[in-house]
């Protein structure tokens, strides 16, 4: 069989994401050719390039890539992809790796779904003077969005803080990621940069209330990004 170790990373071109699949052939009596992963894309995404692995010998680790362009609609950029590994199998002598013939047959199997989250599209930033930056963002060049949420899946303020930071991919400021013992309320301050360069500032006011209640305020230089961030929590 082919063992797949998949991961994806975002490159600095800002308009696309690169899926990287590391493939290992664990069958000594099979040579694999044209090894590639084909994705089932949600509406708006486009495949810009697919780079297959031409040949995969026994116990050989090789890489194949798929380059996908994000949709123009920022609010459609968090999505799930279906993935199928496809390749040509040629039976071979396990001691030499030489194929029995030039003929092969197509084979495939389904991989786990891949997901692009909001956090995958945000680069953490650290603001040592967060309050000054927050106050300076109260201008016409910035957009503010605000909403309230009930975080029923978490039971402590510390868990809520960790979940928000991980889920949004933002960098905490002013040591606000640390929650004092025994408190019933807390304010998390964090920031980041969305692909394309839009700055994001977030203030999350948290309170214990049958789980954790949150008032989230987002200030950013892009109205679509503000909508994406607030909708991601819902």
Q: Which of 35, 67, 27 is nearest to 53 (CA)?
A: 35
Number of domains in the chain: 2
Residue 104 and residue 203 share a domain: no
Q: How far apart are CA 214 and CA 234, in angstroms?
A: 11
Q: How far apart are CA 73 and CA 67, in angstroms?
A: 18
Residue 105 and residue 164 share a domain: no
Containing structural domain, residue 44: 2-116
Q: What is the DSSP string of 101-131?
A: SS--EEEEEEEEEEEE-SGGGEEEE--TTHH
Does residue 11 carry a pLDDT above 90? no
As a whole number, mean pLDDT of residues 187-193 equals 97
Single residue among 93, 116, 139 that ends a domain in this structure: 116
Residue 173 and residue 156 share a domain: yes
Residue 124 and residue 216 share a domain: yes
Q: Which of 151, 146, 148 is nearest to 209 (CA)?
A: 151
Residue 7's pLDDT is what? 52
pLDDT tier, 4 (very low <50, low <70, confident <90, very high otherwise): low
Residue 125 and residue 88 share a domain: no
User: Tell me, what CATH number does 195's domain have?
Assistant: 3.30.310.10
The pLDDT > 70 percentage for the chain reads 94
Does residue 10 carry a pLDDT above 50? no
pLDDT tens by residue, 73-86? 999 999 999 999 99
pLDDT tens by residue, 41-62? 999 999 999 999 999 998 888 9
Average pLDDT of the residues of the chain: 90
Residue 92's pLDDT is what? 87
Residue 94 and residue 9 share a domain: yes
Single residue among 116, 133, 148 that ends a domain in this structure: 116
Residue 228 and residue 159 share a domain: yes
User: Tell me, what CATH number does 53's domain have?
Assistant: 2.60.40.1480
Q: Which of 106, 112, 105 is nearest to 40 (CA)?
A: 112
């Amino acid at each position: 069989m082919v063992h797949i170790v998949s991961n994806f990373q975002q490159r600095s071109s800002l308009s696309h994401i690169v899926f990287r699949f590391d493939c290992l052939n664990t069958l000594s009596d099979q040579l694999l050719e044209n090894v590639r992963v084909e994705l089932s894309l949600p509406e708006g995404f486009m495949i810009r390039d697919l780079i297959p692995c031409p040949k995969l010998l026994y116990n050989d680790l090789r890489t194949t890539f798929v380059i996908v362009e994000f949709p123009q609609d920022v609010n459609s950029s968090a999505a799930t992809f279906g993935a199928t590994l496809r390749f040509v199998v040629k039976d071979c002598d396990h001691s030499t790796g030489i194929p029995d013939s030039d003929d092969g047959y197509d084979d495939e199997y389904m991989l786990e779904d891949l997901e692009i989250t909001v956090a995958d599209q945000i680069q953490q930033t650290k603001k040592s003077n967060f309050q000054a930056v927050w106050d300076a963002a109260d201008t016409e060049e910035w957009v503010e969005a605000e909403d309230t949420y009930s975080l029923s899946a978490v039971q402590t303020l510390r868990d809520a803080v960790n979940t928000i930071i991980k889920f949004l991919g933002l960098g905490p400021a002013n040591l606000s990621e640390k929650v004092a013992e025994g408190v019933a309320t807390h304010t998390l301050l964090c920031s980041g940069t969305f692909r394309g360069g839009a700055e994001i500032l977030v203030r999350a006011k948290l309170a214990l209330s049958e789980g954790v209640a949150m008032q989230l305020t987002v200030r950013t230089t892009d109205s679509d990004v503000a909508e994406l961030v607030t909708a991601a929590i819902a």
